[in-house]
Each structure stands twice: as C-alpha cells, then as structure tokens.
Amino acid sequence: MELGVLDQDRGNAIIAATDDVLANLAGRYSDQFPVDIFQAGAGTSSNMNINEVLANRALELLGRNRGNYGFLSPNDHVNMAQSTNDTFPAASCIAIIFAADRLLGVLSSLSDAF
C-alpha cells in the first residue's frame, strides 16, 4: 500500500485478516493449515497455504465469497508475486533471530551441565 501498488481496501483487509488469523491460529484457523510445516523444499507449499488462508479471510472481511480470487488473489495481492525462494528463507532467518536468545540460554545451561 505504501508503494502504491496495492489499494487501501484490499491492503487493509489483508492486514485485518493477518491479525485475525494470528490471534486465532490455535483455534479457529488451525484446520486451514493442512500443510506440514516441516515439508521439504523452499517452503512453497507453506507459503501458498498461508497466502490462501489470508486471501479467503480478507475476502470474507470485504463481504465477498471465499475463493473470489479475481477480486483478491493469494498470489497477486497477498503474496504480491514475491518468490517463495525469497520470502521463506527471510522469514526463517527472522524466526531464528527472535528465538536465538532462548537457544543461547539453553546452550549455556547445557554447557554448564557438562
């Protein structure tokens, strides 16, 4: 939206959908993620699964039918045609950075135990 390539209505709906899915992931949306997070490859399956869930929730928030990808597409609007080979490794690195402090603490405790 900031770059002017995604209109405010779709962009705000995608943001709201993301917030909604994150807040309710363990309950309401858990059945929407059948792809094993440990699947091989560059993460294409996981990335597209997330894009589809967000697109369908955004469509609902806009008062449209799920699957109306002509109006709001998982690839064109949610993913913005970003390569999974870029987004998935970047997301993995960010997750590792956020978890590094906890890992270093555990490794320090393990080192002390030895």
pLDDT tens for the chain, residues 1 to 114: 999 999 999 999 999 999 999 988 777 888 888 877 676 566 778 888 899 999 999 999 999 999 999 999 999 999 997 877 777 778 888 888 888 888 888 889 999 999
Separation between Cα atoms, residue 111 and residue 106, nearest integer Å: 9
Contact assessment for residue 7 and residue 23, using Cβ atoms and an 8 Å cutoff: no
Fold of domain 8-82: Fumarase C; Chain B, domain 1 (1.10.275)
> What are the residue boundaries of the structural domains of the chain, listed by start?
8-82
Show Cβ contacts of residue 20 under 8 Å, excluding neighbours closer than 6 positions: 57, 61
pLDDT of residue 36: 73
